[in-house]
Amino acid sequence: MLCSAYAQTKPVTGKVTDASGNPVPGISVTIKGTSSGTTTNPDGTFKLNVPESATLVFSGVGYEASEMAVRNRTVFDVQLTTEIKALSEVIITGTGVATEKKKLSIDVASVANKDLTKSAFLSIDQALIGKVAGAQIQTTSGEPGQKANIILRGVNSLGSTNPIILVDGVQVTDINGLDVANVDRVEIAKGPAAGMLYGAQGANGVIQIFTKKGTRNKPISISLVSKVSIDKVILGKDKRLSAKYHHFLMDANGHLLNRKGTVLQPDANGMWPEPAEEDFNTNLNLKNDKTYPADLPIYNHLEQAYQTAVSTTNSIGISGGGNKSDYSFTLSHIDQENVLANHLRRNNLSANLGFELFKGFTARNTTQAILQDENLLSGTYNVTDRIKYNVDALFEGTNNNRFEMINSYPWIDFKSTYNGTDLIVVRPRDENQLNVLSEPDWHKRYSKDTRIINNSNLNYKFPKFLELDFKYGIELWNSEYQDLYKNQELAPQVALGFWGPTAQGSVRDDHAKSTYQNALSTIYVRTDFSKDFKIDLPITTTTQLSYDWRKLQYTSFFSQGLNLPQYPPANISSGALKTSGDGSFDYITYGYLVNQTIDFGNLFGITGGLRSDYNSQFGDQKKAFTFGRGTAYFRLSELLKANKLTEWKLRGAYGAAGIPPNEFDGEYYSRQTTLGSIQLGEGVGLYVPNILGNPNLKVQEVRELEVGTDIIVTPGTENWLNRVNLSFTYWNKKNKDNIQYVDLPASSGTQQIRDNLIDLNVKGADVSLDANMYTDKMVDWTLGVRFGTFKTKVLKVANGRDFVSGLFVVKEGEPLGNFYTVTPLTSIDQTRPDKSRYIPEADASQYEIVNGLVVNKKTKRATLTDATDQRITGNAYPDFTMSFINSVTLWQRLNISFQWDWSHGNEIYNLTKQWMYRDRLQKDFDKPITVNGETGAFVNFYNSLYNSVQRTGWFVEDGSYWRLRDLTLTYQLGSALNVPWVKGLAITASGRNLLTITDYEGLDPEATSAQDSQGNRTFGAGSNIGADYFAIPNLRSFQFGINIQF
């Protein structure tokens, strides 16, 4: 057929523009009745050979299709009109039934590649920040490769909040590491009503990533993207946390003194003794008001700790398609530097190949190979993520922070070296902390990850009724880690400190291998009453029957050589003492899904279904757990046919889904009580574990009801507000049988047991608004607003007893994320719970209220409530999060887009500040107060609030912030270059996190996480976020990029 047509062809050219005259790239130009054709270039132009008899069809997402007969024309200037009903967009659910958006009765957010944040090139989660209403995505650290904390529609359990991640319809274990460049679209199903379709464990929601596909009958298209990013950590308003003044003892010449009364100076190895501090216990009026001597160099440790890093990314995409096939290849390389000049490097190679083997039978295979290596000294988070057994204790603690630098005297130079060497002083301060900047001299580490994700899909659509679909995905992931601590026996301060487990050095290799398989078989039965049964009703139905099987297998082992020689090589074989260990687990779940959809024309529709699954993680594994769902929509706009109301849909959905026990604490087999095992000297010790297994553990269940509405109005003129799209969803979740650690009395012999003993209620609302604000030939301005809010209430906890989750206590009847703390007294007659006065009436005259706190007039000290009298002083979760996304295109060439993110009403526990109170070095100590008529920066006042890093209300701060997440300028040079083989050229300049507006006094209100007071990472919804513990702040980046299309 094509051959005969070809004989009479002629070349035609053309340009496709939109209503305001902007060129529209990516419009499909096809010959009517065939599948051959092309797509428009970035400047809207196209070239094609067509028969004179043909008719060209111009179509593209968001535009009304248009047809033009060729006849004798050779040049086509086509203006497409915006498709008012952009609702024909199809939400392609990975497991469920592909559905037009207008017929969807659940709230599924879809973010196309072009809408992903341009300045986030490392990970998909970062690129999604602020894009989805109800998705709280927070990057808690500026560390390369660090995972974002993703919370979809509130906290569902005390364990992980991580949603299921699907790539092209099959599950993978981690969103981190996936290539941003090959993402076509991301769909986010936020709650169990939608999520259960994708897995019985879908209670935390689902993030589905669809990778770029080629287009059939499209010539080869190549695009190159190259970017460089210059990153600096966010250091807050005045770039310091330390006080400018001091209260140390000085001699007559203004020199600081040590406790022998001589001038403070470091010893021969560069270690500073403690200074003589004026005694505030006896000198109650001591003020922090002395200036440092001019001849004593003062260092800004934040600036010493964090340096500028330069990162690059390059990617090449090749796509196209033949008659019965399509292809897309993406190759990306990322090299991200961190503040210690170490790197994270990643190569992603993706291929997406589709074939139509014969009519109705398609086969598709997508592969993504991810090769990542990093040598970040602070990359231990990565180790603890992948290594699940025999984790080196060195990696579990405070290894990845700058505690010892930031919490130190300003005269200590953390870059000072031992005399006559270029080795940095390991212990510049006389305490049991090492200088993190000396670590690179003695510690080398790397990790290498090889991860291959392959998804295969066979699909056959019978001519009528039936469709068979089979998907099989496999994720192979190999990780290897090496940590080398050199022999330090000859190091100058070895007796006082060394890096690693022993001064003689060690080398440790960890290997982990995991295989995740997901097979999904589906039969769809479709009917159309009018077509198939000749019944005059506009009823269509789809019945889905799926069988879903998933299996995760994991093994890890390590070996370590200790006591290395002082000569090379430093390997395990050369270690005088060797240890090793291993661990493994399997995890299986399988079950079936039945789902029935019935649509009545475009007016209304209902779906209902159930999912029944077995899981190796709980109970006796013999009983399935079964969840149901039901949804309905009604499109009022079909009835109203109002002029300016294009769409009005009401929708509601109910669904339940589960969270398996291992999502609580990452431990598998927690239904069994096994004996713990530990290497003790030359033997192996067995012991009754501190945390008991529980054979009765059940799946944690979330039941969700969501109701919402989608409205599209065209209220404005041709230029102003010609389209406004509003979507609102209210949701309410009951979370039953959440697992918690239940404390046991020590006399029972164990510490805790896991049990399904907590119930939560989570409710909230998500709102999205998209508007074409102004459109003409010169200007095109669009606005997107995203809003999400939720509240979590603890309905029930075990035995009615409070429990500690992370930093804070969780109590029945209260919201999750509360900060329970002792608080400074705010009234002189304040009483304890037992009604006894904190300050006896007789002593009341010795106190006064200063800045809202009760302060003793003589001692200048504040008084704190008892540890047994704690109250709520904040909550880690915001009242709401909001984003404003603006995009303005000028002269059809210059695009300016920016995104503001707003988090409002959350508090942060500023543990960093509290720790800096320890040595009375925090900048608060400079702030004068007035006590008993005297004004001064009284040391006793601030010191009395320190409270040994116990949770104290004083350190709870408003964590609200506005952040200019992204500002991107793109200039389309188009074909201006006049190089025939370059179809498009664009240059971009962008900034990420350029501006933050906040009252928060720490470095970065976003860089918070669940940390205990000693910096150990904890899990637990009570403090999933909310503590600022010396985290590496997020990066402020300036980026420059070039994008070339061939």
Partner 1 sequence: MKRYLIYILTTMLIIQSCKKSTLELNNPNEPLPQFALPTEAGLKNFSLGILQKMIANVPDEGNTNIFHIALTNHSILGDEAYCPYGNYGLRWVDQVYKITLPSGQVVVNPNTVDQKTQLKGFDSRDAGERNAFQYEWSVSYYLIAQANRLLQALNDPTLSLSGDAANKINIFKAWALWWKGYAYSRIGSMYLAGVITDSFGLVNPNFVDHTAIMTEADKVLNECATTLDAISEGDDYDNIMTAIVASFNNNSKIVSPAMWKRQIYTLQARNLLVNKKITDMSTANWQQIITLTNQGIQAADNIFWFGMDPSGTNDISSGFFHPYAFIGEVQQFTFVSERLVQEFKPNDKRFTESFVLFDPPKVNERGRGLQFGTRWNPVFIENGGRYATGNNQGLVPFACSFEENQLMKAEALIRTGSTEAGLQIVDAIRDRQGSGLAHVAGTGLNATQAFEEYRRERRVALFLWGTAFYDARRWGVTKPASQGGGRANAIVVIPGELLSPQQPDAAPVPCFMEYNYMDYWDVPQNELDFNAPASGSVPLKN
What amino acid occupies position 728?
F
User: Quick one: which H or E segment has residue 382?
Assistant: helix 380-386
Please list every residue from 381 through 400 that binds partner 1, using CB under 8 A.
Answer: 389, 393, 396-397
Output 257 or 721, the one with its CB closest to partner 1.
257
Task: Using the rule CB under 8 A, give the single segment among 33-41, 212-220, 348-356, 1010-1018 that binds partner 1.
Answer: 1010-1018
E-state strands within 22-129? 28-31, 37-39, 45-51, 55-59, 66-69, 75-79, 90-91, 99-100, 108-112
Please list every residue from 155 through 194 that binds partner 1, using CB under 8 A.
Answer: none
What amino acid occupies position 136?
Q
Q: What is the CA radius of gyration of the chain?
A: 32
Distance, CA of 279 to CA of 81 (rounded, Å): 78
Closest approach, Cβ 417 to partner 1, in A, equals 21
Q: Order of strands, edge to edge, in the sheet holding 75-79?
A: 45-51, 9-17, 75-79
Nearest to 503 by CA among 511, 513, 491: 491
Output 129 or 742, the one with its CB closest to partner 1.
742
Please list every residue from 507 through 526 that binds partner 1, using CB under 8 A.
Answer: 519, 521-523
Closest approach, Cβ 383 to partner 1, in A, equals 16
Output 358 or 981, the one with its CB closest to partner 1.
358
Output 22 or 863, the one with its CB closest to partner 1.
863
Output 357 or 849, the one with its CB closest to partner 1.
357
- CB contact burial 194-207 (16+ within 10 A = b; e otherwise): bbbbbbbbbbbbbb
Closest approach, Cβ 96 to partner 1, in A, equals 17
CA-based diameter of the chain, in Å?
A: 109
Q: Show the binding pattern over residues 447-486: x = contacts partner 1 (CB under 8 A), - = does not.
A: -----------x-x-------x-x----------------
Classify residue 1024 as left (phi > 0), alpha (psi -120 to 50) or beta: alpha
Interface with partner 1 (CB under 8 A), residue from 562, 657, 839, 850: 562
Distance, CA of 502 to CA of 486 (rounded, Å): 10
Classify residue 293 as left (phi > 0), alpha (psi -120 to 50) or beta: beta
Output 575 or 788, the one with its CB closest to partner 1.
575
Q: Show the binding pattern over residues 856-895: x = contacts partner 1 (CB under 8 A), - = does not.
A: ----------xxx-x-------------------------
Size of the site for partner 1 (CB under 8 A): 115
Closest approach, Cβ 743 to partner 1, in A, equals 6
Nearest to 1041 by CA among 956, 970, 980, 973: 970
Please list every residue from 747 through 786 that binds partner 1, using CB under 8 A.
Answer: 747-751
Please list every residue from 263 through 282 that binds partner 1, using CB under 8 A.
Answer: 267, 273-274, 276-282
Interface with partner 1 (CB under 8 A), residue from 184, 385, 743, 770: 743
Residue 559 · residue 579 · CB < 8 Å: yes
Please list every residue from 905 through 924 that binds partner 1, using CB under 8 A.
Answer: 918-920
Asked whether position 948 contacts partner 1 by CB under 8 A, the answer is yes
Please list every residue from 233 through 262 that binds partner 1, using CB under 8 A.
Answer: 249, 251, 257-262
Closest approach, Cβ 166 to partner 1, in A, equals 18
Interface with partner 1 (CB under 8 A), residue from 69, 495, 976, 977: 495
Asked whether position 622 contacts partner 1 by CB under 8 A, the answer is yes
Task: Using the rule CB under 8 A, give the single segment among 46-54, 222-230, 424-432, 883-891 that binds partner 1.
Answer: 424-432
Closest approach, Cβ 951 to partner 1, in A, equals 8
Output 337 or 665, the one with its CB closest to partner 1.
665
Output 665 or 1001, the one with its CB closest to partner 1.
665
CA distances to 145, 768, 996, 1029, 1036 from 335, in Å: 11, 35, 26, 27, 17
Asked whether position 836 contacts partner 1 by CB under 8 A, the answer is no
Please list every residue from 668 through 707 that binds partner 1, using CB under 8 A.
Answer: 668-669, 672-688, 690-691
Output 330 or 912, the one with its CB closest to partner 1.
912
Output 100 or 743, the one with its CB closest to partner 1.
743
Interface with partner 1 (CB under 8 A), residue from 568, 745, 933, 980: 745
Closest approach, Cβ 955 to partner 1, in A, equals 15
Residue with tokens 């490392």: 122
Task: Using the rule CB under 8 A, give the single segment among 198-206, 495-503, 528-536, 1024-1032 that binds partner 1.
Answer: 495-503
Closest approach, Cβ 664 to partner 1, in A, equals 15
Closest approach, Cβ 854 to partner 1, in A, equals 15
Q: Is 974 helix (H, G, I), strand (E, B) or coil?
A: helix
Q: Is 324 helix (H, G, I), strand (E, B) or coil?
A: coil
Please list every residue from 796 through 815 that binds partner 1, using CB under 8 A.
Answer: 799, 801-804, 809
Cβ neighbour number for residue 969 with a 10 Å cutoff = 14
Instruction: Burial-class residue 523 by CB neighbours within 10 Å (0-12, 13-18, 19+).
Output: middle
Closest approach, Cβ 364 to partner 1, in A, equals 13
Closest approach, Cβ 863 to partner 1, in A, equals 10
Asked whether position 502 contacts partner 1 by CB under 8 A, the answer is yes
Instruction: Burial-class residue 837 by CB neighbours within 10 Å (0-12, 13-18, 19+).
Output: middle
Positive or negative: CA dihedral 1020, 1025, 1028, 1031: positive
Please list every residue from 575 through 614 that binds partner 1, using CB under 8 A.
Answer: 577, 579, 582-588, 590, 614
Closest approach, Cβ 907 to partner 1, in A, equals 18
Torsion of CA 13, 19, 23, 26, to 10 degrees: -80
Q: How many residues does the chain have?
A: 1046
911-918 helix and 939-946 helix, angle to the nearest 10 degrees: 120
Closest approach, Cβ 813 to partner 1, in A, equals 17
Pull the structure tokens for residue 65: 């299709």
Asked whether position 557 contacts partner 1 by CB under 8 A, the answer is no
Interface with partner 1 (CB under 8 A), residue from 296, 298, 452, 496: 496
Give ∠ CA 97-98-99 in degrees, rounded to 5: 105
Pull the structure tokens for residue 606: 């209902």
Output 497 or 984, the one with its CB closest to partner 1.
497
Closest approach, Cβ 56 to partner 1, in A, equals 33
Closest approach, Cβ 1020 to partner 1, in A, equals 11
Interface with partner 1 (CB under 8 A), residue from 616, 873, 875, 996: 616
Task: Using the rule CB under 8 A, give the single segment among 367-375, 403-411, 498-506, 888-896 that binds partner 1.
Answer: 498-506
Pull the structure tokens for residue 571: 């390997």
Residue 440 Cα to chain centre, angstroms: 29
Residue with tokens 């006064």: 848
Asked whether position 62 contacts partner 1 by CB under 8 A, the answer is no
CA distances to 234, 584, 910, 1007 from 958, in Å: 18, 44, 10, 14
Output 527 or 673, the one with its CB closest to partner 1.
673
Residue 216 · residue 300 · CB < 8 Å: no
Output 230 or 744, the one with its CB closest to partner 1.
744
Q: Is 445 helix (H, G, I), strand (E, B) or coil?
A: strand
Please list every residue from 331 through 360 that binds partner 1, using CB under 8 A.
Answer: 357-358
Output 151 or 797, the one with its CB closest to partner 1.
797
Distance, CA of 62 to CA of 81 (rounded, Å): 9
